[in-house]
Chains A and B, each alone.
Chain A
Amino acid sequence: MLTDLTIAAARDGLRAKEFSAVDLTMAHLHAIEALNPRLNAFITVSHARAVDQARAADVALAAGEQRALTGIPLAIKDLFCTEGVRTTAGSKILAPFVPPYESTVTANLLRDGAVFLGKANLDEFAMGSSNMTSAYGPVENPWKRRQDDTAVLVPGGSSGGSAAAVSARLAMGATGTDTGGSIRQPASFCGLVGVKPTYGRCSRWGVVAFASSLDHPGPFARTVQDSAILLGSMAGHDPKDSTSAALAVPDFEAACRRGVKGLRIGIPREYRSDGMPVEIDALWQQGIGWLRAAGAEIVDVSLPHTRYGLATYYIVAPAEASSNLARYDGVRFGAREKGLDLRDLYERTRAEGFGAEVRRRILIGTYVLSAGYYDAYYLRAQKIRALILKDFTDAFGKVDALLAPTAPSAAFAQGENMDDPIQMYLNDLFTVPANLAGVPAASVPAGLDANGLPLGLQVIGKPFDEETVFAVSAAIEQAASFTALPSLRAGG
């Protein structure tokens, strides 16, 4: 089936004229038609546009012009502004919003010939770890518990639609964003590779902002090599984002073939939490064994402030969000509620347009930034953030990369972890520190739990050394030989 191909294999098949770009796109559009009503992975399917882009790809291929992603059908998280295609951020408040411009990351993908199938579902404004906060309904994880295939599991979040789409073979790859784990945790829950590059590697221009100092665009794919191909296209310096790094984009795909011989891999002891399920700890130990067998040296390291990462995050992220989301005022774009006066218009628009989790975070952020509380909360959090970065800097003085679990559990069912916001926040325990420090990290599918659900291992690297992250990820992928498939998939 065309929908089972990797991006690398599809690239070869297109070059060899074994099938056309239109064939490849149509196969995915048919899969979306069949499965999206159930999975709800896409908020918007841009059928006609995708076919046009695929036709253009065939014209280019016939002329012997093949770029990195010519004719490759992708899903785009509905947080990336796409010119002329509605962009909702999973929120009611942006329901009517059609961007008059294209985000830099998606423009880069289009430059390289990609086909966009549509806009993937997500937690509202990327705030969530289950895709349950989307105003466009939850997403179903294509994976099922072996013992109970009636339970509807979450795909993780916030990039839940992107992960479900790639996992179920509705798209060959997808864009996501990772502010506290929103690429790596859904990748782990859906048996995919997900990469959060270094802060500054991918431009944030045109990505709906949640927490600007923590937001990282990155790719989802079914193999490490495919994720390297995608990141190579998405990355690059952008003068329109003042935090974009003026660095050349390395050959990430070549880095996948480097191997790990002679690399020093740190095992951060603080990532071993008391409540960690036995099978996740066992998988971690197995990963350590794989890397050692492949020639890496294993080193015990300490990141002493790890346990404070999550609470620090829940000051910094809401603070930045409360400021970024101030723009949704019902005046210039987005939904508007009628008001008696301007203030009433603002207050009704924002009460009606934002869901419960978004409102909660705006209020927390407003409080920690307010007069009299700024030093006690926000300034303290920024100082602890400095300590967390120092933990990584110290560790990377001794090792080339770190290996840890991605998430503290496998995918849970819709409705679980919903009673208490903090229970949901704990999903990001192992992913948040890399966002606070801005270092690159990837999740690689490494095994299954007793229910037959995928579990990921996380590789964390030095700033702007994604190449080592890809090399280590590829070594884990090779050793794990993860071949399990989700129950719900195209042709499945």
Chain B
Amino acid sequence: MSLDHATVRRIASLARIRLEDHEVEPLCHELNGILGWIEQLNEVDITGIAPLTGAANMAASLRADVVTDGGYPDKVLANAPERIGDFYVVPKVVE
């Protein structure tokens, strides 16, 4: 599986990373190098193997479904690049 320019642009768009035209070709080359190297995994027989999702085969821990934190909007908003009152500011989304 080899990536073409259109696919690289599509992935970048999915990842919300802006790509300039001159960046597409070198990136395409690098990503194909990495994906080509990863192809070695096709040698491994994985028939009947269950996927491992985490490092430890531990059961998910449960806790009571109650609010344990919060109530300090100023702390939460302290790092906002732009805010008005207790709201984050973004460019207009709805006309």
Partner-B contacts on A (CB < 8 A): 96-98, 100-101, 198-200, 213-214, 239, 242-243, 245-246, 305, 308, 311-312, 314-315, 322, 326, 329-336, 339-348, 350-351, 354, 359-360, 362-364, 366-367, 370, 373, 376-377, 379-387, 389, 420-422, 435-438, 463
Contacts and interface: CB of A to CB of B under 8 A. Distances in A.
A245 B56 contact: yes
A214 B52 CA distance: 12
A452 B68 CA distance: 54
Nearest to B41: A311
A489 B90 CA distance: 48
Contacts of B91: 339-342, 344-345
A246 B58 CA distance: 11
Nearest to A436: B55
A329 B16 contact: yes
B44 to A, nearest CB: 5
Nearest to A381: B41
Interface in B42-88: 42, 44, 46, 49-58, 60-61, 63, 75-76, 78-82, 88
B54 to A, nearest CB: 5
Contacts of A386: 49-52
Interface residues of B, number: 51
A213 B54 contact: yes
Contacts of A308: 40-41, 44
Nearest to B75: A100
B1 A376 contact: yes
Given A334-B81, A335-B81, A364-B35, A387 B18 contact: no
Contacts of A384: 41, 44, 46, 49
Given A350-B17, A359-B17, A379-B51, 17 more contacts: A96-B79, A97-B79, A100-B78, A308-B41, A311-B38, A330-B81, A347-B13, A347-B17, A351-B19, A364-B34, A367-B31, A380-B41, A384-B44, A385-B51, A386-B49, A386-B52, A438-B56
B8 A363 contact: yes
B77 to A, nearest CB: 8
22 contacts: A213-B55, A239-B61, A243-B55, A245-B56, A312-B41, A315-B41, A326-B16, A330-B81, A331-B90, A333-B81, A335-B81, A336-B82, A342-B90, A342-B91, A346-B16, A350-B15, A359-B17, A363-B12, A363-B17, A364-B31, A387-B44, A438-B55
A491 B53 CA distance: 48
Nearest to B10: A370
A331 B88 CA distance: 7
A351 B79 contact: no
Nearest to B81: A336
B93 interface: yes
Nearest to A367: B11
A200 B37 contact: no
Main DSSP-derived SS at the A contact region: helix
B21 interface: no
A97 B78 CA distance: 9
A338 to B, nearest CB: 9
Contacts of B52: 382-383, 385-386, 389
Contacts of B56: 198-200, 243, 245, 438, 463
Given A198-B56, A311-B38, A376-B1, A331 B81 contact: yes
B15 to A, nearest CB: 4
A383 B51 contact: yes
Contacts of B81: 96, 330-331, 333-336
A336 to B, nearest CB: 4
A368 B27 CA distance: 16
A254 B21 CA distance: 60
Contact of A421 (B19, B34, B57): B34
A363 B15 contact: yes
A78 B26 CA distance: 31
A436 B41 CA distance: 15
B92 to A, nearest CB: 8
A366 B44 contact: no
A206 to B, nearest CB: 13
A376 B35 CA distance: 12
A348 B18 CA distance: 6
A351 B37 CA distance: 26
A435 B38 CA distance: 18
A429 B75 CA distance: 42
Nearest to B79: A333
A190 B11 CA distance: 38
